[in-house]
Copies of this chain bind each other. A is one copy, B any other.
Amino acid sequence: MAIHHSASESKHKVVLQPSGRSGMVPEGITLLEAARRLGVGIEAICGGRESCNKCMVRVEEGMFPQYDLHSLASHLSPPGERELAFRRRGILPSGYRFSCTARVRGDVLVTVPEESRAQKQVVLKQASGRAIVVDPIVRLHYLELEPTRAGDRADRQRLLCELERRFGLSGVEFDYLALRELSETLHKADGAVTLTVWDQRLVIRVQPGYHEQPLGLAVDVGSTTLAAYLCDLRTGELLATATDMNPQVTYGDDIMSRISYANEVASGRDRLHGAVIRAINQLARNATRQVGLRVRDIVDMTMVGNSVMHHLALNLHPRSLGVAPFIPVVEDALDLKASAIGLRFHPGARLHVLPLEAGFVGADNVGVILSEQPHRQDEVMLVIDVGTNGELLLGNRERLLCTSSPTGPALEGAQITHGMRAAPGAIERIRIDPETLDVRFKVIGEERWSDELPPGKIQARGICGSGIIEAVVELFAAGVITASGRFARGLDTPHLIESDGLKAFVLVDATQSATGSPIVASQRDVRNIQLAKASLLVAAQLLMQEWGVDAVDRIVLAGAFGNVIDPAYALALGMIPPCPLDKITSAGNAAGDGACIALLNRAMRLEAAGVARWVEHVDQPLADEFQSLFMAALSFPPIPEAIYATRRK
């Protein structure tokens, strides 16, 4: 492209800030077109109809010797009627122009504000705070058709011609239901309609008049927890989050029991499928209701989940995932209509299901990769997605390994005597004085610790995953339990009671409990936590062995639960391999973040497809080898210094 100053009268220099891109463009083209030619995408839903108010740019006045040009607003064509109306209403500030109608008449310097860029940057609000470029696969286009005359082509064809003329989209098709909307809409709307176009090739919705907020939903289908993120697909903004239990837990706690249910019970698979779809529909209603929007405006969804959750959500039989060699029905990414699996958004809404990796390592882990990007790093990173089915990644840009671990739900507070979900009233932090064995704790929803408040002020309802982990570590550090996990013999303290024939330690007495009964950690609870943490540790060790490393550079704890666990306690529990404490971070629900990333950026869907086939799956070893690794992983490591530090808090 010629970007030198030219003497030709028919060309002018255009400089775009903040990118600094510049070049010569022909007299009379719009700033929108000039920016496109210089490689800067400006958003324009209405394609030059002066309706959408999205393409405004600031025109800089004065001399700009550094750019060798003298920019004046008069170097642009004057504003038209509609543009002036926007200015009078105060929507278009002084000094700004619609780039879709301002035509280049001389040299100009314009600034393209972030909100006018076709590909905006947004920062995901979750823990990681990573920035992504908003470039969704669904875009809105506003069109106005002239009244029909004899010899005109059909409505559909006229819209497609206009779509090509104004937005350069060719070869676009209509979804059948969009055709029906068209036949109902065009007449009422006097020819002014907003088309929702998927992948620049399929019209999935026709709305009367002007619209600018397509909604998208990213859904993480966990074995125990469902999470849905409602996004504005134009701005990339996270509008609302909704989470709930996966109702499939009624039919079995973990993935193997769900497979059995699907195999053995008549229409068991349909029931599992129906339950999770109803729950996702409910999450969508909750999320849209929070912000006063309509489920019907959701036009795109992405979904992640482990292989079994993936199959059940799609109503594919998980039978072959339950027996070696664990071959799924489909592993590649899928694009389908959301309605095909019973989701009740807009009837034309699309669904993108991220690809599976292998075995039980599913689309949720692909989401984690999108979010954590281990394949783009030099450091050898271990990512542990802590969930009922734990999934682990190890590697860097050279090689990436994955495996899964049947952790079970104990680390999420299930299968624990007084376990509960991470909800208000749940104990999430706990400290035990090694001298007195007195217990201090903190519950979700209250900033202060129990000893900072009058006795009985806190009513604890139960203990969540991070709470029980800290409790087990503290019991070990205080000598109440041994390195093998047994309650120490001969300990004489009123905290120790007998409960259902098992020894149990009273964490919270009846006066501070919402149920009126003490909240305890029993011998069985300690055992369940040991089994779960050993399962994760063995999986990490297997990956390290396969990769050929003794230690990792960095550990990321992912999963909704990984977000709240204190890295020092994870280390003290022996749930993760040794690593400097400052190299252990939490990534929040990285799988959910990955689903959001794929929702907001179409290219990331391709990246997901590529990396899913590149990552190598490491199988669990044969029973004997596994057994000995597992036995060793059950016990607790020596208490790290960090724990003493945290207890002095």
Contacts and interface: CB of A to CB of B under 8 A. Distances in A.
Interface in A551-594: none
Dominant secondary structure of chain A at its interface with chain B: loop
A127 B94 CA distance: 76
A319 interface: yes
Given A187-B320, A317-B184, A334-B176, A152 B327 contact: yes
21 contacts: A149-B325, A150-B324, A152-B327, A153-B327, A153-B331, A154-B328, A155-B328, A156-B329, A156-B331, A157-B330, A157-B331, A174-B330, A176-B337, A180-B315, A183-B317, A183-B319, A183-B329, A184-B317, A187-B317, A187-B319, A187-B320
Nearest to A330: B156
Contacts of A186: 329
A154 B330 CA distance: 5
Interface in A118-155: 148-155
Give the size range of A's interface with the partner. 35 or more
B619 A329 contact: no
Contacts of A315: 180
A330 B174 CA distance: 10
A153 B182 CA distance: 42
A316 interface: yes
Given A311-B183, A330-B179, A340-B176, A325 B151 contact: yes
Contacts of A328: 154-155
A332 B183 CA distance: 15
A336 interface: yes
A422 to B, nearest CB: 34
One complex includes copies of this chain to the number of: 2
Contacts of A320: 148, 155, 187
Nearest to A619: B150
A356 B155 CA distance: 13
Closest 8 CB pairs of A and B: A154-B331, A150-B325, A183-B317, A183-B316, A183-B329, A156-B330, A148-B327, A154-B328
A182 B329 contact: yes
Interface string A192-217: 00000000000000000000000000
A316 B148 CA distance: 18
A325 B157 CA distance: 15
